[in-house]
Amino acid sequence: MNIGIPKERRPFESRVGLSPAGVEILTQHGHQVYVEHEAGVGAGFEDRAYETAGARLVYSPEEVFGRADLMLKVARPLKEELDWLRPNTVLAGILHLASAREDKIEILLEKKITSIAYEQIQQRDGS
């Protein structure tokens, strides 16, 4: 599977969708991980750490979104990021779908994006 880790574009957002250690686990299992240049800098992860873990660096947001079958983000996507998603992509992150604008939900539906909202995941006991 092609997995994308983009640089977050929201103001004051310094988190990243996956650490180099996570990238290493995925690449050891045969997945290809594409990390956008400087995606992890705000979280303390340099590009070199991702490359050492087996990721391929890409230098534009369009490329990381365009290559991904699975997109691992932190913050909810901006409108332009939704436009960059290919149809039938899986999008995972803190998506705030319950309070998302209707036009963004429409884009997800039209493109048949499988959305995994971390904040909605629950244990069987509801926790």
List, in order of start, the domains of the chain with CATH numbers.
2-120 (3.40.50.720)
Nearest-CA neighbor of 95 among 83, 84, 81?
Answer: 81
Give pLDDT tens digits for 66-121.
999 999 999 999 999 999 999 999 999 999 998 999 999 999 999 999 999 999 99
Nearest-CA neighbor of 81 among 110, 45, 108, 120?
Answer: 108
Under 8 Å between Cβ of 57 and 27 = no
Whose tokens are 């244990």? That residue is 123
- H/E run at residue 72: strand 70-72
pLDDT the model gives residue 121: 93
Tokens representing 125? 């006991």
Q: What is the pTM of this model?
A: 0.93
CA angle 51, 66, 80 (to 5 degrees): 110
In the structure, what pLDDT confidence band is assigned to residue 64 with cuts at 50, 70 and 90?
very high
